[in-house]
Amino acid sequence: MVRQRSGKIINLSGGGAAYPKPMFSAYACSKASVVRLTEVLAEEVKEFNVQVNAIAPGPVKTRIQERILEAGEKAGLRTLKEVKEVIKGGG
């Protein structure tokens, strides 16, 4: 992309980057790291007309929701509430 002086990079982040996620420290840190990597890389390649962005698609139904429901309040009240909304189809 740098050589051709053009390009677009899209990274996937998530809710862990937007606010603290107690009981999910590894997840939250990894998502926040994706955002910072995106910001730094965007600065490094902007002179080459390469655009770098991150998106956070929001909740997605995955097996982790089953595990969170099994954990109940141990997963954190906010996280538990979010997962229940996703399961109902509200997320």
- Residues with a catalytic annotation lie at 27
Residues 6+ apart with CB under 8 A from 1: 7, 9, 45, 48, 50
Q: Tokens standing for 86?
A: 């996703």
